[in-house]
Amino acid sequence: MTAAAEPLAVDAETRSSSGAGWAAFRAMLLRDFTILDKRLPQFLAGTIMQPLMLVFVLTNVFPRIGQAIGGGDGASRFSSLLLAGVVAQTIIFSGIFIVGTEMVRELGVTGEMEDRLLAPAPIALVAIEKILSGALHALFGTMVVFPIAALVPATPVYLDVQPVVLLTLTPLACITASALGLTMGTRFSPDTASYLFGVVALPLSFLGAIFYTWPSLDPVPLLKYGLLANPLVYVSEGFRAALVPSEPHLSLLVIYPAMIAFTVVFTLLGIRGLRRRVVT
């Protein structure tokens, strides 16, 4: 220790709580993106692999080996439908695996969230920062996955992009997914985190109207209406409305309110979950 070090004066002054809180909020975002920058290759690999494999096998390999879903023109239609579902799945998975597993690790294994929890901000703001940060990560991941889902299929993908829907739905879906991830991340412990994939992600995905449209489930009404409890259904259907609007899909009048409602509920559950985990 250097003798010349300036004595640490005791600083009795405190800044306004809201000012201090927002400064901490911005710094936490900066921290998250510093880490994204460091771990970019891992992030990209983790984000791209699942949709790439899905799109590659279902829309590139299958048509070539005569196993095309839908057959003939149907293959092309399926590729277009699947693109919307894959983008939706990428976003939801980003939320669960990036925000969720990170929360499980930081809260349960390393305790490294401590410094942010002791920053001069309410716990709710720390939770909201995590949601925003996760949403921005998901948005970035979506932008990478989009061209893959459009270019990988062997058959042409016909898109009729609805810019207003796409530009409003994408950020909303990212926030919904991130809030879902926070809720999951605060409820799963490191011991149970391995169930996140099997128990949460897998059913959400297969029952998330990724490989089929929601209206096409008419023959199985029980399943059709049961699926409305799955937030991924609204995201998948929303992307169909944004990218292939001519296909039958859930009404946007249902999609937007449902996604907003899911976002609010997951945000509140996430804040409550974080508070429960870190404040006794």
Closest CB to another protein among 7 and 219?
A: 7
- DSSP letter for 63, please: H
* Interface region with another protein, contact rule CB under 8 A, candidates 14-22, 55-63, 71-79, 249-257: 14-22
User: Does 242 help bind another protein (rule: CB under 8 A)?
Assistant: no
* Interface region with another protein, contact rule CB under 8 A, candidates 173-181, 219-227, 254-262, 272-280: 272-280
Binding mask 126-165 for another protein (x = CB under 8 A): ----------------------------------------
* Interface region with another protein, contact rule CB under 8 A, candidates 17-25, 195-203, 224-232, 245-253: 17-25
State in angstroms the smallest separation of the CB of 170 from another protein. 26
What amino acid occupies position 250? L
User: Does 203 help bind another protein (rule: CB under 8 A)?
Assistant: no
- Interface with another protein in residues 31-70 (CB under 8 A): 31, 34-35, 38-39
User: Does 15 help bind another protein (rule: CB under 8 A)?
Assistant: yes
Q: Tell me the C-alpha distance between 188 and 105, whole Å.
A: 10
State in angstroms the smallest separation of the CB of 208 from another protein. 30
| Angle between helix 163-187 and 123-151 (nearest 10) | 130
Compute φ and ψ for 212, nearest 5 degrees: -150, 160
The answer to whether the beta carbons of residues 103 and 130 sit under 8 Å apart is yes
Question: How many chain residues interact with another protein (CB under 8 A)?
Answer: 43
- DSSP letter for 153, please: -
Q: How far is CA 110 from CA 105, 172, 242, in A?
A: 6, 31, 41
Q: How far is CA 69 from the centre of its chain?
A: 27
Closest CB to another protein among 12 and 65?
A: 12
Provide CB contacts within 8 A for 87, sequence distance 6+.
51, 142, 145, 146, 149, 239, 243
Q: How far is CA 179 from CA 134, 144, 188, 198, in A?
A: 8, 21, 14, 19
Q: Tell me the C-alpha distance between 49 and 37, whole Å.
A: 19
Binding mask 108-127 for another protein (x = CB under 8 A): --xxxxxxxxxxxxx-----
Site residues (CB under 8 A) for another protein?
A: 1-2, 5-12, 14-15, 17, 19-21, 23-24, 26-28, 30-31, 34-35, 38-39, 110-122, 278-280
